């Protein structure tokens, strides 16, 4: 199994592939030894990776209710007796939740504060988990490199407000998305914004990485701010063309166009 490892600010982040195209993530606080499993796409894979590293999962954070994000809760709880945190708004659709949380709820991994951010739109209660010490944000299916999640439950107002919240994070933040959709997103992005020189370089980098079988996740937020059309629906060029000057209308039109691209 292919895996990757990052360490920053006393937090180790282990990333691995699971299911057909999900990424799994384990984050460990070195000082306390606490280990968070961010989403539970595949309990066997999450537990197996933790075991291989000699880590014990002490917390689960669910970003949203979809089964490839919360389907492993029961088995991971049974194996580890960890504490499970999940979106309050999606409580009726997620198993074994100990702590329903929403934007601003207090959360710690070891002594590290975690910001919980409302990123509803893909689902109504979708949350992102930002660990400032690690310069890392786990965004689930809200935001992808050069794209964003499908709008299954929310509306354009809600989703655009969510993306604007993510834009406020420190630009050096690493964005951990839950799927590898970047190549398809890149083709749409360049269709929307063909004269964006940095986007052209980014698309080239994505093609090179994918040809080698390398991952494009995590992506660094500052590059997304310049290149991701869904984070730039209020850029005058994009909003004029796609929304007659209205940001929300431009976001809605981009999302609709990508669905059938």
Query: Which positions lie near Zn ion, rule CB under 5 A?
Result: 66, 141
Contacts of 187 (CB under 8 A, 6+ apart): 203, 261
Q: Least distance (Å) from Zn ion to the CB of residue 171?
A: 26
Cβ-based nearer residue to Zn ion, 35 or 89: 89
Cβ-based nearer residue to Zn ion, 134 or 148: 148
Query: How far is residue 88's CA from residue 103's CA, in Å, rounded to a whole number?
Result: 10
Cβ-based nearer residue to Zn ion, 118 or 141: 141
Residue 241 labeled ligand binder: no
Q: Least distance (Å) from Zn ion to the CB of residue 69?
A: 6
Cβ-based nearer residue to Zn ion, 26 or 70: 70
Q: Which of 154, 217, 147 is nearest to 188 (CA)?
A: 147
Identify whether the C-beta of residue 25 lies closer than 8 Å to the C-beta of residue 57.
Answer: no
| Residue 187 CB burial class (10 angstroms; 0-12, 13-18, ≥19) | middle
Query: How far is residue 122's CA from residue 125's CA, in Å, rounded to a whole number?
Result: 9
Q: Least distance (Å) from Zn ion to the CB of residue 148?
A: 12
Residue 179 labeled ligand binder: yes
Residue 141 labeled ligand binder: yes
Q: Least distance (Å) from Zn ion to the CB of residue 38?
A: 14
* 5, β-bridge pairs: 14
Binding-site members for Zn(2+) are 64, 66, 68-69, 122, 141, 179
């Amino acid at each position: 199994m292919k895996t990757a490892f990052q360490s920053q600010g006393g937090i180790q982040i282990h990333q691995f592939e699971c299911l057909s195209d999900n990424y799994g993530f384990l984050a460990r606080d070195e000082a306390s030894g606490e280990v968070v499993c961010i989403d539970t796409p595949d309990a066997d894979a999450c537990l197996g990776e933790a075991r291989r590293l000699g880590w014990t999962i002490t917390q689960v954070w669910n970003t949203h209710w979809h089964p490839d994000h919360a389907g492993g809760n029961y088995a991971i709880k049974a194996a580890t007796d960890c504490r499970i945190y999940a979106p309050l708004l999606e409580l009726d659709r997620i198993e074994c939740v100990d702590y329903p949380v929403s934007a601003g709820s207090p959360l710690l991994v070891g002594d590290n504060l975690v910001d919980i951010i409302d990123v509803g739109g893909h689902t109504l209660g979708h949350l992102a988990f930002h660990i400032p010490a690690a310069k890392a944000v786990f965004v689930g299916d809200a935001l992808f490199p050069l794209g964003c999640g499908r709008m299954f439950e929310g509306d354009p107002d809600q989703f655009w407000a969510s993306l604007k919240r993510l834009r406020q994070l420190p630009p050096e933040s690493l964005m951990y998305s839950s799927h590898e959709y970047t190549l398809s997103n890149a083709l749409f992005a360049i269709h929307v914004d063909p004269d964006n020189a940095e986007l052209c370089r980014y698309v080239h980098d994505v093609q090179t990485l994918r040809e080698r079988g390398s991952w494009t996740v995590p992506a660094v937020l500052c590059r997304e701010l310049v290149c991701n059309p869904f984070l730039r629906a209020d850029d005058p060029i994009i909003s004029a063309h796609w929304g007659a000057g209205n940001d929300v209308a431009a976001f809605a039109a981009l999302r609709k166009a990508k669905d059938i691209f």
